[in-house]
Amino acid sequence: MRLSIVLAGCAILAGIVLFFFGQAQHKKIVQKCPPLGNFVKVENDRLHYIEREGGEVPVVFLHGASSNSRDWLQSLFEHLPNYYLLVAIDRPGHGYSQRDANFTFKKQVDLLHGAIQKLKIRKPVLVVHSLSGVIGARLLSDYPQEYAGLIIIAGATYPIGDGSSWYTKLAAMPVLGQFFRYAIVPAIAPVIAPGLIDKSFYPQKAASDYAEKSCLELLFSPDRFLANAEDLNQIRPFLDESYPLYAKITSPVSLIYGDQDQVIYQFSHAAGFKHKVPHAKYIMLQNTGHLPHFFHQETIRQEIDRIYAHPQVSN
């Protein structure tokens, strides 16, 4: 009996220590990565965005899971011509964008559309990565007159697999999940991050300063980790709901995938989307993983220009 009490006391003490360590790590993460851009308020939420001004051709970027808008600064902002107006938005709950409780993917689509409208960005090309593949497809399906076209990079578009996992389900639990997010996740983040990066960049090697420049650590703060977990838990049902709607898409679309992607079923997603949207241009890049935008900027530039030259496609 005494041993049980001692062990229980040790467990509680360890939990308290981990909680305060996690809190300290959270504060350190946020201080290291202040917001770089501006904010736009849509309904009750403030969304953070980074803009490269000066151009007249608008392009809006939406990042994938476990990421934020800084991803585009490293990959494309420095490589695209000055005639583009570039805007990268932190999706709700990620980076420095706010997010209400019980947030749905449909709400996310509508909120992002509202932000683009409030920023007065007229008929942009959407460039979306990974999890945002289905978000970009829904924006074109739900608001067909508002977008010039869509470039999907390594995007989740087809209802296959399940984005959720044991840790995303645990993170979303009411009490245990809160302890996991506040006490455990910030403490083990330095161990987890290198593996996530290597998997995404494979077969190429990641730049040594990628994590620092992209502020990947933001993901491991409690609220952002929860938002990311909720997205991954909801992605499959939203794909099931959205896939039949792709047939409504008439704007030009480019599908850009890497043949060595270790994160998604690239061939299924690309072919599944093209089945619903036959006019979509399908580009499968050789010896490329989940981050084609870091290695094939010229291909993406060409597709942006192609879309603006062909603003509407009839089915």
Q: pLDDT tens-digit profile of 185-242? A: 988 888 888 998 999 999 999 988 999 999 998 999 999 999 999 999 999 999 999 9
Q: Pick the more confident residue, 64 or 14.
A: 64
Q: Is the pLDDT of residue 119 over 90?
A: yes
pLDDT of residue 190: 80
Percent of the chain with pLDDT over 90: 77
Q: What pLDDT does 315 receive?
A: 43
pLDDT the model gives residue 101: 83
The dotted CATH code for 31-309 is 3.40.50.1820
pLDDT at 4 over 80: no
Longest alpha-carbon distance in the chain: 77
Q: What is the pLDDT of residues 81-107, one digit of tens each?
A: 999 999 999 999 999 999 988 899 999
Please state whether beta strands 45-52 and 38-42 pair in parallel, antiparallel, or not at all (unpaired). Answer: antiparallel
- H helix runs in the chain, sequence order: 2-32, 70-72, 105-118, 132-142, 166-171, 176-179, 185-201, 210-214, 222-242, 266-276, 297-309
What mean pLDDT comes out for the span 128-144? Answer: 98
Query: Which pLDDT value is given to residue 158?
Result: 98
pLDDT, residue 164, reads 94
pLDDT tens profile 42-73: 988 999 999 998 888 999 999 999 999 999 99
pLDDT score for 13: 66
Q: Is the Cβ–Cβ distance between 147 and 251 less than 8 Å?
A: yes
Residue 84: beta bridge partners? 57
pTM of the predicted model as reported, rounded to 2 decimal places: 0.92
Query: What's the whole-number average pLDDT of the chain?
Result: 91
User: Helices (H), strands (E): how many in the chain?
Assistant: 11, 8
Residue 106: Cβ within 10 Å count = 14
Question: Which pLDDT belongs to residue 287?
Answer: 98
- Please give the Cα distance from 229 to 66 (Å, whole number): 9
Q: How confident is the model at residue 38, as a pLDDT?
A: 97
pLDDT at residue 11 tops 60: no
Selection from 50, 96, 48, 99 nearest residue 76 by Cα: 50
* Closest-CA residue to 39 (of 95, 84, 78, 80): 95
Rg (CA), the chain: 20
Domain boundaries, given as residue ranges, for the chain: 31-309
For 127-142, what is the mean pLDDT?
98
* pLDDT for 298: 97
Give the contacts of 236 (CB within 8 A, at least 6 positions apart): 159, 161, 162, 163, 164
Position 311 scores a pLDDT of 59
pLDDT at 280: 98
Read off the amino acid at residue 248: K
* Phi and psi angles of residue 152, each rounded to the nearest 5 degrees, phi first: -100, 120
Q: What pLDDT shows up at residue 189?
A: 83
**In the predicted model, is pLDDT for residue 31 greater than 60?**
yes
Buried b / exposed e over 80-94, threshold 16 CB at 10 Å, is beeebbbbbbbbbbb
User: pLDDT for 268-304, tens place per residue?
Assistant: 999 999 999 999 999 999 999 999 999 999 999 999 9
The answer to whether residue 22 scores a pLDDT higher than 80 is: no
Query: How many of the other CB atoms lie within 10 Å of CB of 228?
Result: 22
